[in-house]
Chain A
Amino acid sequence: PLQQRPHDEL
């Protein structure tokens, strides 16, 4: 699912 992506915002 989408939330598996790492956080790309600092």
Chain B
Amino acid sequence: YAVSGSVWQKRDLSWRVESFPISLSQEITKQLIESALLAWSRESNLRFYRTTAEDADLRVSFLGGPHGDGYPFDGPGGTLGHAFFPGIGASAGATHMDADESWTYNEATGTDLFAVAVHEFGHSLGLTHSSAENSIMKPYYQGTVGKHQNYRLPPDDVEGIQALYGKLSPSLDATHDSITTAHLTLFSYTGRKIVHPAEKAPPAPTQRFVPPRGPTYRPGLPHPDRCSAHFDAVSSIRGEVFFFKNRYFWRVQATKQLVSLNPAHLGHFWRGLPPDLPRVDTVYERGNDSKIVFIAGTNYWVFKDTVVEPGYPRSLTDFGLDTDGVDGAFVWKHNKKTYFFQHNRYWRFDEQHGRMDPGYPRDSNLWLGLPPDVDDVISWTDGHTYFFKGAQYWMFRDGNVEAEPDSPHSITLNWMYCAVANPPEPTQLPEGRDQRGCTCHC
């Protein structure tokens, strides 16, 4: 067994169920919760009593999807529940079950609420996950444990709970037996509250604060969601593909593996961009010296590796571009020339000679199958050219100037590895309002 390092400083703990699943009656749910707690109190000095008070020590809720604690639920299967370790704070003692599971008990089908509740209460009492063969604290759901009335904790978990709260003392044994009987009689629930002797003296709260674990214990920064982002710029740098959105970016390696599902912060990796720069329009790796060019508005910066060169920003007029910016830029591997795109036009720049090729701009519909106003373009290590716009991309095989017939494809599906192929269109609604126009009060 393994312990979290925090315990309840009292032995009498109150509990209540704050919300219920739709697949089980409230009465059955309360019976199963009470029985799950009994599994732990039977082996230790702990005693549990049900209360209707909102400040109960252990609070069980059935919740769906994201619910504000950093551990979003994911519908049927996947994550089933979680509980917070003992300590002071709003979350301590909270036990959350995924409301979207098909909760059952003592059945081969569905998810056994009793088995999951015993596991989660182990966390509520201070135990962490165990790798022991038969432990109820193994992190993976192991199916039903049979009739809850007959359930006894495996030896590993008995040792764990006794290490935290001591063995059931003989003096309390008789009391515990009567409580046990009382609990069991409640399986034909009367709704009456168990009045426990410990209720006479209010339990003293623990003084130790233990922050919630997992995704929430690292300070989070608000960042865009890769699955709904329409990217500002996409760039092929050193064989990887960088997707930029606002002041963040994602990296996809040559193996097409996302380095991280969370984006990295632009200004802390690419050093030297203005701290108030809201976004970049395009980025490309120069063909002649492998330096990296960032373009935003009518300015550009040249980077040697990840640090900006002195003397920047400079104006796009250096390239002979007399525009108010560019949408995309890339170096085409088939002629080593740099292409700039804006709206329905494109230019070809000769980096070797530092001048724009004559005869440009041209109409971008010379790239057959390409929509106007692309977001960006890359020429990747596989030799193909990819144009990105919105949530889609168009592939031009090898040196072809005609899109593959099955284009466009989904960026979110094939590059960002999201479950949904088509994210919603960007909205002009202010922050806090969703696509349906509903105001969020969370």
Q: Do A and B bind each other?
A: no
B residues sitting closer than 8 Å to A (CB atoms) are: none
